A and B are shown apart, each in its own frame.
Chain A
Amino acid sequence: MATRITRRLDALKAEDRAALVTFTMAGDPNYQASLDTLKGLPGAGADIIELGMPFTDPMADGPAIQKAALRALKGQHTQQKTLEMVREFRREDQDTPIVLMGYYNPIYRYGVERFLKDASEAGIDGLIVVDLPPEHDSELCLPAARAGIDFIRLATPTTDDKRLPRVLENTSGFIYYVSVAGVTGAAAPTPEGVEQSITRIRAHTDLPIAVGFGIRSAEQAAAIGRFADAVVVGSALISCIEQADSVDAGTRDVHALVRELSQGVRRARSA
């Protein structure tokens, strides 16, 4: 049975346009505001939603996402509350795929089997866990597959042709190409370089390929959306929340930027 993620990406492929994938942090700046933000994302043009699970020590994230996690934790956000947010979201939206993204320890501590059961019931479609390379597939990737949850893996500029098949092996839903070696929010990649890498990965897989890291504007989203199956924007949205004068303004600014970005992916292949 095709998952929500696969159905959505197949439909967009038929429309010949890239998906817009948004990343925001659960609980940032507080539970209610992040839920309000979440609920408005599909209407603003997000095709797939990545929701960050806050962690104290996000070693692959830049300052924007680090601070977002700490804001959420300061507000007593927990794994339970992240799942609760998704449950609330699903009451109104049964179609938009939701992927949880974060680090392994909070899941490990929750208990892998219990987490997968609760995540599945909440309506979560995929997981991205930064610190679980294929060497540790037995920890969470394979159990997630058994629970019907896609395990989406990152490929990076350091993943060479020799290693790529291993990275792809148990990946499902889509593959997430991290376009620069670095932390989230780092410098933008050049579209030419990224296109070459995407071509290289396509030679190894039929999975849709999402591109992320360093994409902040509609122009960049359009440039990447020309050849990638999905474009991921995270730090730029998180910065809207950080810089807003009020909680409501943060939500409004996120949705406004998502509308712009979605125009970007919609015009990417029409010019």
Chain B
Amino acid sequence: MSSATDAIKRFSKGPDADGFYGDFGGRFVAETLMPLILELEEAWEWSRTDEAFRQELEGYQRDYIGRATPLYYAERLTEHLGGAKIYFKREDLNHTGAHKINNCIGQILLARKMGKKRIIAETGAGMHGVATATVAARFGMECVIYMGATDIERQQPNVFRMKLLGAEVIPVESGTGTLKDAMNEALRDWVTNVDSTFYLIGTVAGPHPYPAMVRDFQSVIGRETREQILEKEGRLPDTLMACIGGGSNAMGLFHPMLDDESVHMIGVEAAGHGIETGEHAASLNGGEPGVLHGNRTFLLQSDDGQITDAHSVSAGLDYPGIGPEHAWLHTQKRVEYVSITDHEAIEAFKLCCELEGIIPALESAHSLAHLRKIAPDLPGDHLIVLNMSGRGDKDMASVANWLEAHGDTDKLPDTTVEAAEPGRIDDMQPPHDVAKKTGETE
């Protein structure tokens, strides 16, 4: 058992019994939460082998989420870049508009099985909040979403959607008012309401079993991709690409092919204004190992171990940590992790709209930007699958503000600067200038 192949074969095996992937992961939580986490682990272990659970999950994936999502050949982008052959895994076509619901549907079935009646979640871009509010409505459960005050301002449409779905959205003012603060507040809620409440974490972070459990529920992305590419091309892809906030859409795509040695994988972090400026969200490329939110991973932090603020134009990538399994895959060099600036992401966003008729989420635009860099130099038979993790409808205000701030105004509609006409549904959303304050600065 010493060949390189055997070493590669182990990549999909983690975590160990204590929730570790090498040095990363674990269960660094307050004692109050430990019994809950052990109880959840038991339920998750059960779900992995229970046939009835699997069938029920698949039923909701098909009829409620709309799976399988297509593997789409991006022909015009392929021609434009003039190199590798590009496919998009269309997670943007899921119900609620992103991959997030794959995980939510799985966890809510577990919550129901555990007899929980109240669901809490953190959200950044609001996509996880919307997906959580959606499944909570579907299963008749009370739902409370913690969202940073900064993110509430820049993701107003999603706040409105969550409210329509019956969720209570609680603004979090502490810290920077972004995803990490929302997660702190959700954890505080959980230690206070231990009996009634299920904490539905939205990415492959948090204490064990969350990183592994969320990965399992997201792995449907990679399993489908594998089957679909074999059907279309008769072989596995050469390269997989996905953006990384906490890392769930990436892990979902990567995990089923981690042991396929020939498949190269690239995770794309947010470089914000540039890693050298210190204003970024690239935990692997610009962070150090540490312990936060229940696991050991790479974190943006000071020399004294204080967590520093992340920055990204995309709210869903604005997190100072990353899932522990990614931290491990990074140190093992199984996956390549790169970073993309706000500016590069916006340029790729525009290109995708114009060439493919697909408005991508700003998160997904980060992987598109890296694709733009590498595809032209690759041969025409090099197959790339990019995870189109979500659609960009939620990002209209952020993009408009960014374009305006950068003098790129020819496409800006009047509505970005004026309130909508009376009587339109937009009236139910706050005026755009609220969102504008935080959309982008530079």
Q: A168 to nearest B CB, angstroms?
A: 11
Chain A residues with CB under 8 A of B174? 63, 66
Query: Given A105-B301, A153-B31, does the pair A56, B36 have CB atoms closer than 8 Å?
Result: no
Q: A171 to nearest B CB, angstroms?
A: 11
Q: Is A79 interfacial (CB-CB < 8 Å)?
A: yes
Chain B, residue nearest A163 (CB): B35
Which of A14-22, A126-134, A203-211, A218-226 contacts its partner? A126-134
Chain A residues with CB under 8 A of B180? 57
Contact A133 B29, beta carbon cutoff 8 Å: yes
Q: Is B294 interfacial (CB-CB < 8 Å)?
A: yes
- The answer for the CA separation of A58 and B188 in the assembled complex, in Å, is 9
Query: Given A105-B290, A105-B301, A107-B305, does the pair A182, B28 have CB atoms closer than 8 Å?
Result: no
- The answer for the CA separation of A193 and B191 in the assembled complex, in Å, is 18
Contact B301 A160, beta carbon cutoff 8 Å: no
Q: Is B32 interfacial (CB-CB < 8 Å)?
A: yes
Q: A182 to nearest B CB, angstroms?
A: 4
Interface membership of chain A positions 129-150, coded 1 if the CB is closer than 8 angstroms to chain B and 0 otherwise: 0111101100000000000000
Contact B28 A132, beta carbon cutoff 8 Å: yes
Contact B36 A158, beta carbon cutoff 8 Å: yes
Q: B357 to nearest A CB, angstroms?
A: 42
Interface centre among B175, B193, B291, B304 (most CB of A within 10 A): B304
Chain A residues with CB under 8 A of B181? 57
Contact B31 A135, beta carbon cutoff 8 Å: no
Query: Given A109-B290, A131-B294, A181-B32, does the pair A78, B192 have CB atoms closer than 8 Å?
Result: no
- The answer for the CA separation of A135 and B295 in the assembled complex, in Å, is 13
Instruction: Sort chain A's interface into a size bin.
Output: 35 or more
Q: A190 to nearest B CB, angstroms?
A: 17
Chain A, residue nearest B290 (CB): A105
Interface membership of chain B positions 285-316, coded 1 if the CB is closer than 8 angstroms to chain A and 0 otherwise: 00010111110100101011111000000000
Q: Is B184 interfacial (CB-CB < 8 Å)?
A: yes
Contact B31 A159, beta carbon cutoff 8 Å: yes
Q: A30 to nearest B CB, angstroms?
A: 17
Chain A residues with CB under 8 A of B306? 55-56, 73, 106
Q: Is B26 interfacial (CB-CB < 8 Å)?
A: yes
Chain A residues with CB under 8 A of B36? 158
Query: Given A133-B34, A135-B27, A160-B35, does the pair A108, B305 have CB atoms closer than 8 Å?
Result: yes
Instruction: Sort chain B's interface into a size bin.
Output: 35 or more
- The answer for the CA separation of A155 and B291 in the assembled complex, in Å, is 22
Contact A109 B188, beta carbon cutoff 8 Å: no
Q: Is B30 interfacial (CB-CB < 8 Å)?
A: yes
Contact A154 B30, beta carbon cutoff 8 Å: yes
Contact B30 A60, beta carbon cutoff 8 Å: yes
Interface membership of chain B positions 264-300, coded 1 if the CB is closer than 8 angstroms to chain A and 0 otherwise: 0000000000000000000000001011111010010
Q: B246 to nearest A CB, angstroms?
A: 15
Chain B residues with CB under 8 A of A156? 30-32
Chain A, residue nearest B192 (CB): A182
Q: Is B187 interfacial (CB-CB < 8 Å)?
A: yes
Chain B residues with CB under 8 A of A157? 32
Contact A57 B32, beta carbon cutoff 8 Å: no
- The answer for the CA separation of A62 and B194 in the assembled complex, in Å, is 16
Q: A157 to nearest B CB, angstroms?
A: 8
Q: Is A186 interfacial (CB-CB < 8 Å)?
A: yes
Chain B residues with CB under 8 A of A106? 304-306
Interface membership of chain A positions 186-209, coded 1 if the CB is closer than 8 angstroms to chain B and 0 otherwise: 100000000000000000000000
Q: Is B18 interfacial (CB-CB < 8 Å)?
A: yes
Contact B290 A183, beta carbon cutoff 8 Å: no
Q: A154 to nearest B CB, angstroms?
A: 5
Q: Is A64 interfacial (CB-CB < 8 Å)?
A: no
Contact A59 B188, beta carbon cutoff 8 Å: yes
Chain A residues with CB under 8 A of B193? 181
Chain A, residue nearest B19 (CB): A135
Chain A residues with CB under 8 A of B191? 60, 181-183
Q: When the two chains form the complex, which single residue of B27, B35, B304, B305 contacts A136, counting CB atoms closer than 8 Å?
A: B27
Contact B192 A57, beta carbon cutoff 8 Å: no
Contact B34 A56, beta carbon cutoff 8 Å: no
Chain B, residue nearest A155 (CB): B31
Q: When the two chains form the complex, which single residue of B26, B28, B291, B304 contacts A78, counting CB atoms closer than 8 Å?
A: B304
- The answer for the CA separation of A44 and B28 in the assembled complex, in Å, is 36
Q: When the two chains form the complex, which single residue of B194, B292, B303 contacts A57, counting CB atoms closer than 8 Å?
A: B292
Contact A59 B187, beta carbon cutoff 8 Å: yes
Q: Is A238 interfacial (CB-CB < 8 Å)?
A: no
Interface membership of chain B positions 25-59, coded 1 if the CB is closer than 8 angstroms to chain A and 0 otherwise: 01111111111100000000000000000000000
- The answer for the CA separation of A196 and B292 in the assembled complex, in Å, is 34
Chain A residues with CB under 8 A of B305? 55, 79, 105-110
Chain A residues with CB under 8 A of B301? 105, 109
- The answer for the CA separation of A178 and B192 in the assembled complex, in Å, is 12
Interface centre among B31, B175, B193, B288 (most CB of A within 10 A): B31
Chain A residues with CB under 8 A of B187? 59-60
Interface centre among B35, B175, B187 (most CB of A within 10 A): B35
Q: When the two chains form the complex, which single residue of A61, A104, A167 contacts B291, counting CB atoms closer than 8 Å?
A: A104
Chain B residues with CB under 8 A of A133? 27-31, 34
Contact B29 A131, beta carbon cutoff 8 Å: yes
Q: Please list the 7 inter-chain residue pairs (A to B) with the smallest Cβ-Cβ separation, ordered nearest first.
A: A109-B305, A106-B305, A182-B192, A156-B32, A60-B30, A131-B28, A59-B187
> Can you name 13 extra interface pairs (CB under 8 A) apart from A55-B305, A105-B307?
A56-B175, A60-B188, A63-B174, A78-B304, A80-B304, A131-B28, A133-B34, A156-B30, A158-B32, A160-B35, A181-B192, A183-B188, A183-B191
25 sample A-B contacts, Cβ–Cβ < 8 Å, listed by A number? A56-B175, A59-B30, A78-B304, A79-B305, A104-B291, A105-B307, A107-B305, A108-B296, A110-B304, A131-B291, A133-B29, A135-B26, A136-B26, A136-B28, A154-B30, A154-B32, A156-B30, A157-B32, A158-B31, A158-B33, A163-B34, A163-B35, A182-B192, A183-B191, A183-B192
Q: Which residues of B contact A (CB under 8 A)?
A: 18, 26-36, 174-175, 180-181, 184, 187-188, 191-194, 288, 290-294, 296, 299, 301, 303-307
Q: Which residues of A contact B (CB under 8 A)?
A: 55-63, 66, 73, 78-80, 103-110, 130-133, 135-136, 153-160, 163, 167, 178, 181-183, 186
